[in-house]
Amino acid sequence: MKYLFVILLLSSSCYAWEPVKLPIDSTTHLVTYTSVITVDSIKQKELYSNAKMWIGSSFKNANNVIQLDDRDNGQIIVKGCCEVYINMLGATYSEGLMFFTLTIKCKDGRYKYIFTNFTHKGNPRTSGSHDCGPIETDEFVGGISGISKKQWNDMKIDCNSKIQNLIASLKESMAHKSTDEKW
């Protein structure tokens, strides 16, 4: 009887999960993290500089990820990615990369960030890893890809956590006001 209870408990925990709710843009119907942040008394030029410094410290190769660098208009577009993981049989495995587009727009006293266009590419180092495509889809689940709905949800949760961390570090970096040190 104890064994039956343990088996039922373990099997129910494999299926008892709640789908992650990601922010969906009402116009594009894409997962989109966006906000306009007010930063008093910081000029566009300094916000732009802060954004460039943040990109340099947040991505392995800033020069490779920057797609648009418009200093005059205070706009930067980045094509970035984060590694996503699944949980399976009590272990964590890399399941590839979640690519995204980040746009940062700076004006005097405020900036806007937009993370969107999330697309999964499977891990080429892992046999059986497949491209799952846009984060908004659930159509591939099961079937040829071999990814369960729970594993796809795990990847979305992991991506969401990493984007939230990037947003927090971006906000911290953008709020930094120069002290004009003289050397």
Question: Tens of pLDDT along 55-109?
Answer: 999 999 888 999 999 999 999 999 999 999 887 788 888 889 999 999 999 999 9
Q: Give the pTM.
A: 0.84
pLDDT band for 2, please (50, 70, 90 cuts). low
C-alpha distance from residue 26 to each of 23, 32, 52 (Å): 9, 10, 29
pLDDT band for 52, please (50, 70, 90 cuts). very high
C-alpha distance from residue 18 to each of 53, 98, 153, 154 (Å): 37, 21, 8, 10
Question: Tens of pLDDT along 25-49?
Answer: 999 999 999 999 999 889 999 999 9
**Residue 126, amino acid:** T
Contact criterion met (CB below 8 Å) for 24 and 111: no
C-alpha distance from residue 144 to each of 72, 98, 147 (Å): 48, 19, 8
pLDDT band for 165, please (50, 70, 90 cuts). very high
Mean pLDDT across the chain, nearest whole number? 85
Q: Alpha helix (H) ranges present in 35-148?
A: 44-58, 62-65
Per-residue model confidence (pLDDT) at position 47: 97
pLDDT band for 12, please (50, 70, 90 cuts). very low
CA distance 77 to 56: 13
Burial of 115 (0-12, 13-18, 19+ CB in 10 A): buried
Per-residue model confidence (pLDDT) at position 170: 98
Q: Map out the domains of the chain with their CATH numbers.
A: 20-174 (3.30.530.80)
Per-residue model confidence (pLDDT) at position 26: 95
CA distance 5 to 3: 5
